[in-house]
Amino acid sequence: MDRIYLDHAATTPLAPEVLDAMLPHLREQYGNASSVHQMGRQARFAVEESRERVAHCLGAEPGEIVFTSGGTESDNFAIKGALASRSTDGRTHLVTSAAEHEAVLRPAERLEADGYDVTILTPEERGAVRPQHVEEAITAETALVSLMHANNEIGTLTSIREIADICHEQDVWLHCDAVQTAGLLGVDVQDLGIDLMSVSGHKFYGPKGTGCLYVRGGIDLGPLVEGGSQERDRRGGTENVPGVVGFAEALEHAVNASEERVDRIATLRDRLVDGIREKVDPPFVFNTPVDQPDAIAPHIVNVSFPPVDDRPLDGEMLILNLDMQGLMVSAGSACTSGAMEPSHVLSAIGRDRATASAAVRFSLGRSNTEDEIDAAVDALASTVTRMRR
């Protein structure tokens, strides 16, 4: 069959309209945005206009947008910056979840090694932490709660608004990794009530290496990257003008098309789920809570294959065999899929090692069709049957 790409949670192709917006800044308008001559002023205008567009898309003010290289940097900036800033007031405690992205868990480990207090909450079986458990974990020393909006491996949504209210009642900042939902679910920082939010451009058909951190007005974060006065002294280094322009263009297009796109992708997701149930031989288990459509992002379906007669399915070979049939999917997070260890997210929601190690994440995008979904189901069904034999 033709190649079918169902790994949009890992990355998306650069949209043609985004490339068109970037090209002038890659060719003739190549000035440094910190230069005072005409070409530099043109670059500065492009950056600040992009900042206004991004802010409008996210319900923020332009001064609350800090351009970064993507989700990982934004997560690090938010977590390390918040703890450093609030530690002067005796708030040295971080609360997060065992199902978060590595870009949150690794900084949390570093902070704990440096003497900060870190609480890692266990998510419920569907993959999100209960607001009640967040409330119970908060102490007088808590500086920050960091939780993602939609889990990047299984798609579960977290009750961010409810948790934000809990945090603010106790003067705790809330950071939200919205990498999988910004540009898709109409993310608005005012509606969510959050203080810090991470966004990555290549998840919504923008250029790789671009993103932003929303920093609510009044919050003072020291720079993560020092060496220049860019981004109001919050991120040193020459601005990536083409990337910034492409990021803004991609986000604006994604937000404008989000309602129609969500409906279409959710329909394809349901077709995928129904196809797996109909054509794939059991046993299998949906790690995504597909029976709770309001509790999940529209584009992610994660399914595992438990052992049969004590014989586990080789998850790596499953992904490779699907690839040989032209189906491009992943075992989970693209940032950790090269590792042989089972997904930490699936382990956190209670999957045993063998089941967690034999998982497939399908993530849908705007170009996918019903025919592709049907072909993907057929490829999965035949591959699993053949491997079990």
- Assess whether 192 and 49 both reside in one domain: yes
335 an active-site residue? yes
pLDDT digits (tens, 9 = 90+) for 159-183: 999 999 999 999 999 999 999 999 9
- Assess whether 336 and 270 both reside in one domain: yes
- Assess whether 39 and 158 both reside in one domain: yes
- Assess whether 295 and 346 both reside in one domain: yes
- Assess whether 112 and 207 both reside in one domain: yes
- Assess whether 337 and 272 both reside in one domain: yes
- Assess whether 25 and 67 both reside in one domain: yes
- Assess whether 142 and 269 both reside in one domain: no
Secondary structure (H, E, C), the chain: CCCEECECCCCCCCCHHHHHHHHHHHCCCCCCCCCCCHHHHHHHHHHHHHHHHHHHHHCCCHHHEEEECCHHHHHHHHHHHHHHHHHHHCCCEEEEECCCCHHHHHHHHHHHHCCCEEEEECCCCCCCCCHHHHHHHCCCCEEEEEEECECCCCCEECCHHHHHHHHHHCCCEEEEECCCCCCCCCCCHHHHCCCEEEEEHHHCCCCCCCEEEEECCCCCCCCCECCCCHHHHCECCCCCHHHHHHHHHHHHHHHHHHHHHHHHHHHHHHHHHHHHHHHCCCCCEECCCCCCHHHECCCEEEEECCCECCECCCHHHHHHHHHHCCEECECCCCCCCCCCCCCHHHHHCCCCHHHHCCEEEEECCCCCCHHHHHHHHHHHHHHHHHHHC
**Among the three residues 192, 219, 253, which one is the final residue of a domain in this structure?**
253
Put simply, whether the predicted model's pTM sits higher than 0.85 gets the answer yes
Average pLDDT, the chain: 96
- Assess whether 319 and 195 both reside in one domain: no
What is the CATH number for 114? 3.40.640.10
Of 167, 176, 212, 335, the active-site residue reads: 335
> Greater confidence, 78 or 335?
78
Structural domain for 231, as ranges = 16-253
pLDDT digits (tens, 9 = 90+) for 221-247: 988 889 999 999 999 999 999 999 999
What is the CATH number for 287? 3.90.1150.10
- Assess whether 207 and 293 both reside in one domain: no
**pLDDT of 336 strictly over 70:** no
**Among the three residues 253, 275, 306, which one is the final residue of a domain in this structure?**
253
**Among the three residues 206, 223, 253, which one is the final residue of a domain in this structure?**
253
Question: What is the number of structural domains in the chain?
Answer: 2
- Assess whether 80 and 186 both reside in one domain: yes
